[in-house]
């Protein structure tokens, strides 16, 4: 995969596209389509969107973190 030297700032729609594409590959894995290890899913998403693997991983972590916050019981507090 070619190295990405130019930094790209992704807006909210582009970030959602990253999540949707990653979810597409994850669903394929869960529906017994050809299995792809998680690192290959990240690789394919990055290649398809012409962005870096670290960007895909970071956006996924951020989205997962937001899900945890949204699923938390309202009386629970986060770590201090």
Q: Evaluate whether 53 touches 46 at the Cβ level (below 8 Å).
A: yes
Domain assignment of residue 60, yes or no: yes
What domain range includes position 24?
12-69
Domain assignment of residue 16, yes or no: yes
Angstrom distance (rounded) from CA 17 to CA 45: 10
Domain assignment of residue 2, yes or no: no
Instruction: Domain count for the chain, please give it.
Output: 1
pLDDT digit of tens for each residue in the chain (80 aa)? 456 567 778 888 888 888 888 888 888 777 777 667 767 888 988 888 889 999 999 999 998 887 655 555 555 565 65
The pLDDT, as a whole number, for residue 30 is 72
Q: What global pTM score does this model have?
A: 0.58
């Amino acid at each position: 995969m070619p190295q990405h030297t130019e930094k790209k700032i992704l807006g909210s729609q582009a970030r959602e596209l990253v999540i949707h594409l990653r979810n597409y590959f994850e669903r394929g894995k869960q529906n017994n389509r050809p299995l792809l290890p998680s690192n290959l899913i990240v690789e394919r998403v990055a290649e398809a969107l012409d962005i870096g693997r670290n960007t895909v991983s970071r956006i996924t972590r951020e989205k997962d973190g937001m899900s945890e916050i949204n699923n938390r019981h309202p009386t629970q507090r986060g770590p201090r």
